[in-house]
Amino acid sequence: MRIVDFEPRHAAAWKALNEAWIGRHFAIEPADEVILGDPVGAVIAPGGHIFIAESDGGEPVGCVGLKAMDDGGFEVVKMTVAEAARGTGLGRALMQACIDRARALGAPRLYLETNARLGPALALYRAVGFADIPPRETAYSRCDVWMERTLAPG
């Protein structure tokens, strides 16, 4: 597997991969529809990044976005790995790609919003240095956990 930067050819996979996990656990919300329907306009054009994990055959099997924040940090958004690729370390590799890119760009922190029911995701976030922070205003009714990871230069 390899992790690549988003290209327009990935738009359908970005939407399908995320709709699959969100729909399995929650309802698709208006904020989801914006990011999934226009990844370039909602994430990339305002200074963010999207990574797509591809199988050896080139099939998209995972994704994650970095949405630029006003303080120079990034919000980690829409991270998922296809069922068939779970347990391979791909989630950790996607998260490391986020950390590496944000650090290279001089971002002071990564931030994310999630839900307490997503145990494996929470375990991954904590394993790579995210810590719980107090609740913030959010566009998502499903959000009940807020986390961040500070980034030291280097």
pLDDT score of 16: 97
Residues of the chain with pLDDT under 70: 153-154
pLDDT digit string (tens) for 120-130?
999 999 999 99
Structure tokens at 43: 């994430």
pLDDT score of 153: 67
| Strand 74-81 with 109-114, pairing | parallel
pLDDT score of 8: 95
pLDDT score of 54: 96
Q: Quick one: CATH architecture of 2-150? A: 3-Layer(aba) Sandwich (3.40)
